[in-house]
Copies of this chain bind each other. A is one copy, B any other.
Amino acid sequence: MISTEELLNNHGVKPTPQRVVIADFVLSTHEHPTAEDVLKGVAGQLPVTISRATVYNTLNTLVAAGVIREVFTEPGACRYDANVSKHHHFVDTRTGRIFDIPWDEVPQLPRSLKGRFKVHGYEITFFGEAT
């Protein structure tokens, strides 16, 4: 298991204590936390308080560096995802929980639509009930 410090270094992000704690939190859950979840989750993990600005700055930095990704399944807040490989999402409409769906569970979609739309990528959100 590669350390979070190494991971951040490999992505060109200087591994400050705050960044390591924040990255650790997002990377070690499958819950697709919001920024607010992260803020609460990392509180008390360091002798200093981790400010709201640092949480948002760090999440944006980690997304830009490709360490994590954002996912928008519902309005209100964006969520963060440790899984940066191509995949889709399933939202359990009862609990609100979000599950990863591997890319190849789903048929490939066309790379061009109606002649005039050149597709660079797509995201599928499934809604339903998980068992």
User: Footprint of B on A, CB under 8 Å?
Assistant: 70, 72-75, 77-78, 90, 93, 99, 101, 105-107, 109-110, 113-114, 116-131
Chain B nearest CB: distance from A92 CB in Å?
8
Chain B nearest CB: distance from A41 CB in Å?
20
Q: Could you tell me the distance between the alpha carbons of A72 and B110 in the complex, rounded to whole angstroms? A: 22
Which 7 residue pairs spanning A and B have beta carbons closest together? A120-B128, A119-B128, A122-B126, A75-B78, A118-B128, A121-B127, A116-B131
Q: Could you tell me the distance between the alpha carbons of A77 and B114 in the complex, rounded to whole angstroms? A: 28
A–B Cβ pairs within 8 angstroms, 6 of them: A90-B117, A116-B131, A119-B128, A120-B128, A122-B124, A122-B127
Q: Could you tell me the distance between the alpha carbons of A107 and B111 in the complex, rounded to whole angstroms? A: 12
B residues in contact with A99, CB < 8 Å: 117
Q: Could you tell me the distance between the alpha carbons of A131 and B115 in the complex, rounded to whole angstroms? A: 9
B residues in contact with A118, CB < 8 Å: 128-131
Q: Could you tell me the distance between the alpha carbons of A77 and B78 in the complex, rounded to whole angstroms? A: 11
Q: Is the CB of B110 within 8 A of A106?
A: yes
